[in-house]
Structures are given as structure tokens and as C-alpha cells.
Amino acid sequence: MDRGEVMSVSETTPRRLPTVVIVLAFVLLLGFLALIAWGLRRSMSGPISVGDRVPDIQMITFDGQTIHSRDLAGKVIVVNFWASWCKPCEQEARELEEAYQYFKDSGKVVFLGLAYVDTEPNSKAYLEKFGITYPNGPDLRTTVSQMFRIRGVPETYIIGSDGRLAAVKIGPFQSTQEIIQTIQPLIH
Amino acid sequence: MSKKVFLLVSLLMMVAALVGGLAQRVQAQQPTPSDNDVNRVARQLYCPVCENVPLDVCPTTACQEWRELIRLKLSEGWSDEQIKEYFAMQYGDRVLAEPPQRGLNWLIYVLPPVAILAGAVLVIRILRRMQAKPTPAEAAPAVLLSPEDEYLKRVEEELKRAEKSGR
């Protein structure tokens, strides 16, 4: 045995951090990991699929009216995402208005337009240009588009009278007839 | 009399012309938001549809329209903060270059200083320990011998004694 290696007990034992500090560090670390996990889970969760129950949608129209989808229970809700800067949206703008007029008197179908990352003056000009009269408003904080995880505009989500997602149209509708044919079977 | 009236009318006309000129000049100096004003706000915002592109340098038509919106809001007397809040309300907090200090965002502001502070404390502790650690020469007198070492010492002494007596 080499005596040079021999040291006193006080020198060989490392000084430990106070237990409170260690526990606190672990709690902080676990909390941070939990936060990351929550964020990942949230970002990885998929879009609302056909058949899934759709959470409540809230929108404030350009004329200040607040609409909650929960207040429209029992009706078919057509949620259309659009933007004034979106050229394909123009293809279906008039058709959507025509379909709205077609179902308007039945009282069983509600059309809601949500302007996706658009400016209010441009949105209003767009609505005027295409003579759109059903409720439209901005998708504030992109809450609703994030809920549906839209990939672009235009996209249309049709919620059945049971509150579940019944149909999805990615891209513009080709004709008024196509819109009517999509909605008609959902009316009970 | 007519001369006085003529002078008065002339004077009034001159005053009117002067006031009109001033008014025109005042109108011309109306503070229309300049590009610099717009960009000052725009650089604090990001394009809502592009990936990580500040609004002041974003080349798309949509961004141009958002910059015009900023110009419009500035001309209406909105402050930079009000415009930023408006953009956040319309397009979400992701358009803000600097995340607002609310909700979980506060972690962004709190965690780095805490991590730096904890790191600094750790480094100081390690440095202090290194300074306090005695050199081998200094450590020698402090060496405590274990009972086993005492035994070895005695064995060595006995061996030495035996060697001496063996001579």
C-alpha cells in the first residue's frame, strides 16, 4: 500500500449538497420534462377526424356578433376557411353563397366563414366583391384553424347535427351542386 | 373712403392668402407614417404565414398588405404596442418577435437567468474546492494512519530491529 494515497476520512468523503437543494433540483427537472412532454403531446396530436366530436367554436364576426357553435346544436354547421389573398378561395366564394341561399330558409344549416391570417379591410372587400352574406369573421389568434389543423386555404369542415365532424373538403368546391350534395345527406 | 376700403380689402385678401398658405403648409406637414415608421413596428413582428420571416423584410404581397395595415393603424394614431397587440390578437402570439410575458412564456425569461445563476454557483463551488484542496506536501502531515498502518509500521520496525540484531 502506498502511503501517499492515504488520506483522512474528511478528505476522501465529498461534500454533499443540502438535501433540500437536491430535491428542489429534481422537482424542477421533472417539472420541466413534464412541460416538454405536454407540449410535444399537444403538437403531435392529430387533427379532428371525421366522426370525432368537434369542440366548441367561437367566432366574432366582422360586424361584432359573437357566435358559439354550441348554441347551434342540432344544425349542420359549414365552417369555411378562406383568405382574401387566396386565389383558389375565389373559385368557391360565389358557390358557397349560393349554397347558403339554397339552405337558408330550411333553418337546418349554418354557414360560418373564417378569414385565415387576413387583414380586416381586405377581408371585408373580399366579402363585398363576392356578395357573401353569411356570417364571416377573422379566425382570431388562429384558434379554430389550429383546432382543425388546417394545412391551407380554402378548407371546409362540415359538422353534423350531432356535433361530430361529418365531412372535410380540402381545396375549393368545384360547384354549388357539389356543396349541396355534400350537405344534403347530413340534414335530418 | 374708397381708397380705405380698397386697402382694407387688399389687407384682408393678403391675410386670407397667408392663412390659406399656412393651412396648406400645415396640411402638407401632416405626419404621414413613413416607411421607417412602418418598418420600426414591422421588425417587431413576423409574417403570420411564412416561416420565421420578419415582417419588415418579407417580400410577399401579403406582407406588403400587413405593412400597409401597420401604416393605416399608425396614421390612426395607434401606438406600437397597440399595433403589436392587435396583430397578436388577430394572428396569435407567434407573430410577435418577442414573446409576451404571460402564461408559460414567462419560463423563457426566467429559465435562462436561473440556469446561468445555477451554473455560476456550481463553478464557484468547484473553484473554491480546488483552491482549498491541499498539495501532497501539505497534505502529508495531515495523514492519519489507520490501525492497519500502525500494524505495518510496527512490522517494519520489528524487521529493522531483526536486521540489526542479525548483524
**Interchain CB distance below 8 Å, B92 and A141:** yes
Model pLDDT for residues B81-132, shown as the tens digit of each residue: 999 999 999 999 989 999 888 877 888 888 889 989 989 998 998 999 888 8
Number of H helices and E strands in chain A, helices first, is 6, 7
pLDDT-above-70 percentage for chain A = 90
pLDDT in tens, A155-185: 999 999 999 999 999 999 999 999 999 999 9
Task: Specify the pTM.
Answer: 0.67
Residue A8 is given by DSSP the state -
Task: Say if B131 is an interface residue toward chain A (CB within 8 Å).
Answer: no
A68 φ/ψ angles, rounded to the nearest 5 degrees: -115, 135
Of B18 and A167, more confident: A167
Q: Is the pLDDT of residue A2 over 70?
A: no
Kindly identify which residue of chain A lies nearest to residue B85, measuring between CA atoms. A141
> Chain A: nearest CA to B31, how far in angstroms?
22
Rounded average pLDDT over A40-48: 77
Residue A79's DSSP bridge partners are A112, A157
Residues of A in contact with B42 (CB under 8 A): none
To probe the interface with B, which of A12, A142, A146 has the most B CB atoms within 10 Å? A142
Q: Are A89 and A154 in contact (CB under 8 A)?
A: yes
Which overall architecture, per CATH, does domain A58-186 show?
3-Layer(aba) Sandwich (3.40)
Residue B61: predicted pLDDT: 87
Interface residue of B69, B86, B91 to substitute, partner A, most A CBs within 10 Å: B91
Distance of CA B20 to the CA centre of its chain: 49
Average pLDDT (B31-37) is 87
Is B6's pLDDT higher than 80?
Answer: no
Q: Torsion angle, CA of A13/A14/A17/A22, rounded to 10 degrees? A: -90
Q: Which of A150, A151, A168 is nearest to A159 (CA)?
A: A168
Residue A76: is it exposed, middle or buried by C-beta count within 10 angstroms (0-12/13-18/19+)? buried
User: Can you give the pLDDT at residue B132?
Assistant: 81
pLDDT confidence of residue B24: 47
C-alpha cell at A96: 358557397
DSSP A164: B
Q: How far is CA A114 from CA A55, A186, B13, B55, in A?
A: 16, 22, 58, 23
ipTM above 0.90, yes or no: no
Q: Is the pLDDT of residue A31 over 80?
A: yes
Q: At what angle do helices A176-183 and A87-104 cross, to 10 degrees?
A: 50
What pLDDT digit, counting tens, does each position of A3-27 carry? 444 455 445 556 677 888 889 889 9
Q: What is the mean pLDDT of chain B?
A: 81
Q: How many residues does chain A have?
A: 188
Give residue-wise pLDDT tens across range A111-126: 999 999 999 999 999 9
